[in-house]
Structure 1
Amino acid sequence: MEITLLQRLAEVGVHSSVVRMLDWFKMKGRGFLLVLERPPHGQDLFDFITERGALPECLALRFLRQIVEGLRFLHAHGVVHRDIKDENIVVDTRTLDIKIIDFGSAAPLKETLYRELEGTRVYCPPEWIMSQTYKAVPLTAWSLGVLLFNMVCGDIPFERNQDIINAAPVFTRQVSKECQSLILWCLSYRPKERPTLEEILSHPWMEGGKAEQKEHSEQEGHSSMPSQSL
């Protein structure tokens, strides 16, 4: 399945936030060998956070926007990742560009319920813990909420099943109200109340960060212009 889905993506095009499969081979008696692109200066987000601690919100926003755009590409071409977590995000430590990796839990995208999941328990939503069923978009939104909390607080919000079911994260660091709002929306107990990927991108926290980045770029542009003598 992993090879099939990665081939499908390779045929429709390339997205900067999604790892590419370059080739694959069947190894007699040993399964399959996948040849994937390797981002230069790559470090998975788990190690990135472990080394640096909680990330500044502006950096967490930069990562999250790239991740969501990559997921939109996947969904648009009929693929759901199903295991979004820090270990499956690789950061280029020079450019701070990211790539989504490891499609071992991925599946064809559908609107009906899934009844199997090979993802990571602490990133799973309450409905999976309660009934072993879930839908693709609410699952993805929940995982993104856990991931964003992890980035801005330095650790995941839930460890025990009961904590996941309670869906009440406790913020252990100073986090802006706008960022908390997005996290809590993604971690809504009811799947139908969670945002779509498009709604995440249009959330005020995300839009505010976009405006700040634009202003910063404009300031850099002005400061780099040569002064004119009168």
Structure 2
Amino acid sequence: MQTIGQGTFGTVKLSQHVVTRQKVAIKIIEKASVTEDKQRNSLQREIRLVQLLHHRHIVKVYDVLEDATAVFFIMEYVSGGELFDYIVQKRSLSEWEARIFFRQMLSAMDYCHKNSIIHRDLKPENLLIDSNKCVKIIDFGFGNTFHRDKFLTTFCGSPFYAAPEMLGAKSYVGPEVDVWSLGVILYAMVTGSLPFHTEVLPELLKRIKSAEYHMPSKLSPNLADLIRRMLTVDTKKRIKLSEIIKSK
């Protein structure tokens, strides 16, 4: 089988149903690579979450199989590749095109949040584009359920897209960290670069925790304002997903 993706714990292979000839992606997680209790819990949580989620902008998981050595996620095959590569290829997206993709992300994440599920690793590498130019969210390996009256403290995901409260080991409910990541993705789509980017980790953390970034003057005032409200350090002042949907 052809390898079409590689993650922290798993490899994604392209395969085909022997009867229907339908192409599928198979994410294979070797159990030998999952050595810690925290990792095992995350894997079991991912298995549970992907079987609950059914949305047109979330990659469909048809089945989860398991043997003595590995776990196999049998998934919808998305042929268009990662949003990351699409942005690199085009250098940046027009506000019109970015808005289409962004609305699809909002729809999927609104569905997740209404079902008390957070992703916690939203980034262009975890957003695939299908043949109809529709976004499909993948990889709920860091996903979790949340409760409005309880707090999480786990840091996970890429630091370039992580909310400052996660980096600062502060407690959070959940949806607000996805909103921050979506803000970083929106910025990346329309500028072709990341708002917070440096190879020096302490400097990167400093910039994220203070929301220190450059807003290009070419962006429309409404878009620039939305990005600022999403990349707000104070979680009480950060715009909520429901407000973004109403304003889009």
TM range (shorter): 0.7 to 0.9
For 1:175, give the aligned amino acid: L
Unaligned runs of 5+ in 2: 1-44, 198-203
Residue number in structure 2 paired with 1:36: 75
Task: Tell me the CA shift for residue 29 of structure 1.
Answer: 2.4
Task: Tell me the CA shift for residue 20 of structure 1.
Answer: 1.1
Contact between 1:83 and 1:120, CA under 8 Å: does it hold in 2?
A: yes
Task: Tell me the CA shift for residue 133 of structure 1.
Answer: 2.8
Task: Tell me the CA shift for residue 196 of structure 1.
Answer: 1.6
TM-score (norm 1): 0.81
> Number of paired residues?
197
Residue number in structure 2 paired with 1:108: 145
Find out whether 1:16 has 2:56 as its counterpart: yes
Paired residues for 1:62-211 under 5 Å: 62-92=100-130, 94-111=131-148, 112-159=150-197, 160-172=204-216, 174-203=218-247, 206=248
For 1:138, give the aligned amino acid: E
Task: Tell me the CA shift for residue 131 of structure 1.
Answer: 2.8
Which of the numbers 37, 46, 70 marks the counterpart of 1:2? Answer: 46
Task: Tell me the CA shift for residue 132 of structure 1.
Answer: 4.1
Tell me the distance in 2 between the aligned counterparts of 1:28 and 1:173.
Answer: 56
Tell me the distance in 2 between the aligned counterparts of 1:90 and 1:17.
Answer: 9
Contact between 2:146 and 2:173, CA under 8 Å: does it hold in 1?
A: no
For 2:74, give the aligned amino acid: V
Task: Tell me the CA shift for residue 38 of structure 1.
Answer: 1.1
Task: Tell me the CA shift for residue 78 of structure 1.
Answer: 2.4
Larger helix percent: 1
Unaligned runs of 5+ in 1: 207-230
For the pair shown, which has the larger CA radius of gyration, 1 or 2? 1
Residue number in structure 2 paired with 1:225: none
Tell me the distance in 2 between the aligned counterparts of 1:73 and 1:146.
Answer: 20
Contact between 2:57 and 2:135, CA under 8 Å: does it hold in 1?
A: yes
Tell me the distance in 2 between the aligned counterparts of 1:29 and 1:63.
Answer: 38
TM-score (norm 2): 0.76
Contact between 2:81 and 2:128, CA under 8 Å: does it hold in 1?
A: yes
Task: Tell me the CA shift for residue 135 of structure 1.
Answer: 2.4
Task: Tell me the CA shift for residue 173 of structure 1.
Answer: 6.0
Over 6 Å off, 4+ runs = none
Output one character per residue of 1:25-78: Cα deviation in whole Å (capped at 9) or x when no partner.
113123x11111112x32111000011111000011100100010011111222
Tell me the distance in 2 between the aligned counterparts of 1:45 and 1:8.
Answer: 24
Identity of aligned residues (%): 31
Contact between 1:6 and 1:21, CA under 8 Å: does it hold in 2?
A: yes
Task: Tell me the CA shift for residue 113 of structure 1.
Answer: 1.7
Residue number in structure 1 paired with 2:201: none
For 2:186, give the aligned amino acid: L
RMSD: 1.4
Which of the numbers 57, 72, 75 marks the counterpart of 2:95? Answer: 57
Contact between 1:153 and 1:173, CA under 8 Å: does it hold in 2?
A: no
Higher relative contact order (CA 8 A, sep 6+): 1
Output one character per residue of 1:114-172: Cα deviation in whole Å (capped at 9) or x when no partner.
11132111111111222343221211111111110001110111131111011032024
Contact between 1:105 and 1:117, CA under 8 Å: does it hold in 2?
A: no
Residue number in structure 2 paired with 1:226: none
